[in-house]
């Protein structure tokens, strides 16, 4: 009897460990049930993907069937995508088209996210907003004393990113004030710095690349953003290959895998050939065993290894600078 219990116990432990490795299915949670219903109403056909929690990556999507190279991972109808077109067709549209100088596509999307989040239950985008992260781990969101602990090149980029958001906030105050007729509450309270930081990080970490024709009501900055509910739950791996594009015939954004994926395992996509410096800066995470890993060496460090007697010192540094090797 003891032997029997021991074997059963080991089997149970192995099964528990296997399930934990595969991921814990979260599709029964109310926020995901509501999101699935909301997507279905917009034409999304239930795929083989399920929201799940994974040991290494946290929240992601698992597959309920084995995937082979060349398989379609997901096809998200255009009606599910949040773009500047969505913003212009909302109550914000009229105010954006009248505002001079024109706002950027990025600011338009940020404004929409803040406004819809403030609307709460009244927002038609609530099922999507409810599954978005409440906070982000991008260096731009960190406190200054934490940013100071980062390696010098990353610290510099993080400070630049933080300044960029601060400048966007300062330069947008007049535009936010112009939206006061749409709100009972003060726009200064709704469109505060933390709200803009959250919206900016949502767009920076989660949008897919989708080129839109230029509209006169926007500034000349590229309009290439689209938020893709459900699809944006797919996590990054530098070791997989995918093909992603908007299908003009089907009017849907599609991702095809070039890799295999076993049943109940996490489906991973590649955000691009990024090193961990770039991943942390843009997305707020780093990848284990990243083949794109690189070490950023500052100019000061390089100069320490040049001989003081080297007459070509300035010329060498100049060549490195001209070819962006000091960035």
Interval 228-272: pLDDT, tens? 999 999 999 999 999 999 999 999 999 999 999 999 999 999 999
pLDDT band for position 155 (cuts 50, 70, 90):
very high
First to last CA, the chain: 67
Buried b (16+ CB within 10 A) or exposed e, 85-115: bbbbebebbebbeeeeebbbbbbbbbbbbbb
Query: Under the phi-then-psi rule, with left for phi > 0, alpha for psi from -120 to 50, and beta for the rest, what region is 13?
Result: alpha
Residue-wise pLDDT for 193-220, tens only, equals 999 999 999 999 999 999 999 999 999 9
Instruction: Return the higher-pLDDT residue of 238 and 324.
Output: 238
pLDDT value, residue 284: 93
Find out whether 239 and 245 touch, Cβ atoms under 8 Å: no
What CA–CA distance (Å, rounded) separates 44 from 321?
49
Query: Among residues of the chain, what percentage have pLDDT more than 90?
Result: 78
Please report, for the chain, the start and end positions of each structural domain, with discontinuous segments joined by +.
13-283, 298-326
In which band, very low, low, confident or very high, does the pLDDT at 5 lie, cut at 50, 70 and 90? very low
pLDDT at 120 exceeding the cut of 80 = yes
266 near 54, Cβ under 8 Å?
A: yes
Q: Is the pLDDT of residue 12 over 60?
A: no
24 pLDDT band, cuts 50/70/90, is: very high
Reported pTM: 0.86
pLDDT > 60? residue 49: yes
Tell me: pLDDT of 17 over 50. Answer: no
Q: Catalogue the E-assigned strands of the chain.
A: 24-25, 49-54, 58-63, 72-77, 208-209, 225-226, 235-236, 242-247, 252-257, 268-269
Q: What's the fold here for domain 13-283?
A: set domain protein methyltransferase, domain 1 (3.90.1410)
Rg of the chain taking only CA atoms, in angstroms: 23
- How confident is the model at residue 312, as a pLDDT? 87
Predicted confidence at residue 2, as pLDDT, reads 40
Q: Which pLDDT score, from 0 to 100, does residue 321 have?
A: 84
How many Å apart are CA 147 and CA 47, to the nearest integer?
40
Give percent helix, percent strand, percent coil of the chain, each to the nearest 5: 45, 15, 40
What is the structure's pLDDT at 108?
Answer: 98
| pLDDT value, residue 206 | 96
pLDDT at residue 294 in the model: 86
CA 277 – CA 41 distance, rounded (Å): 40
Asked if 49 contacts 40 with a C-beta cutoff of 8 angstroms, the reply is no
Q: Given a cut of 60, is residue 6 above it in pLDDT?
A: no
Task: Kindly state the DSSP code that residue 250 receives in the 8-state scheme.
Answer: T
146: CB partners within 8 A, 6+ apart: none
User: What does the mean pLDDT of the chain come to?
Assistant: 91
Q: For the residues of 63-97, what is the DSSP string, one character each?
A: ESS-B-TT-EEEEEEGGG-B-HHHHHTSTTHHHHH
Q: How high is the pLDDT of residue 280?
A: 94
Residue 324: pLDDT band (50, 70, 90) is confident
List CB contacts of 327: < 8 A, sequence separation 6 or more.
none
Q: Are 286 and 280 in contact (CB under 8 A)?
A: yes
C-alpha span between 153 and 130 (Å, rounded): 35
Q: For residue 101, say if its preceding peptide bond is cis, omega within 30 degrees of 0.
A: yes
Is the per-residue pLDDT at 15 higher than 80? no
Does residue 167 have a pLDDT over 80? yes
Structure tokens at 11: 């089997």
């Amino acid at each position: 009897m003891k032997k029997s219990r021991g074997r059963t116990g080991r089997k149970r432990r192995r099964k528990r460990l296997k399930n934990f490795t595969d991921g814990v299915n979260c599709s029964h949670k109310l926020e995901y049930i509501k999101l699935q219903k909301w997507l279905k109403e917009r034409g999304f056909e239930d795929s083989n993907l399920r929201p799940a929690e994974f040991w290494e990556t946290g929240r992601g999507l698992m597959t309920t069937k084995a995937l082979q190279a060349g398989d379609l991972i997901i096809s998200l109808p255009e009606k599910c995508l949040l773009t500047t077109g969505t913003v212009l067709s909302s109550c914000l549209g009229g105010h954006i088209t009248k505002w001079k100088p024109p706002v950027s596509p990025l600011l338009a999307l940020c404004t929409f996210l803040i406004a819809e989040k403030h609307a709460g239950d009244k927002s038609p985008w609530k099922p999507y907003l409810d599954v978005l992260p409440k906070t982000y781990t991008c260096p731009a969101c960190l406190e200054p004393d934490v940013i100071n602990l980062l390696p010098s090149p990353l610290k510099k980029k993080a400070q630049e990113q933080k300044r960029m958001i601060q400048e966007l906030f300062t330069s947008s105050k007049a535009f936010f004030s112009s939206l006061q007729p749409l709100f009972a509450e003060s726009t200064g309270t709704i469109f505060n710095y933390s709200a803009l930081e959250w919206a900016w990080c949502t767009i920076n970490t989660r949008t897919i690349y989708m080129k839109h024709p230029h509209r006169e009501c926007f500034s000349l900055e590229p309009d290439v953003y689209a938020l893709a509910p459900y699809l944006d739950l797919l996590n990054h791996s530098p070791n997989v290959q995918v093909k992603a594009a908007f299908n003009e015939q089907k009017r849907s954004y599609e991702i095809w895998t070039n890799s295999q994926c076993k049943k109940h395992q996490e489906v991973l996509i590649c955000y691009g050939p990024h090193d961990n410096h770039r991943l942390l800066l843009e997305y707020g995470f780093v990848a284990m065993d990243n083949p794109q890993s690189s070490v950023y060496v500052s100019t000061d460090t390089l100069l320490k290894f040049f001989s003081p007697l080297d007459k070509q010192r300035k010329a060498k540094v100049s060549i490195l600078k001209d070819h962006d090797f000091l960035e």
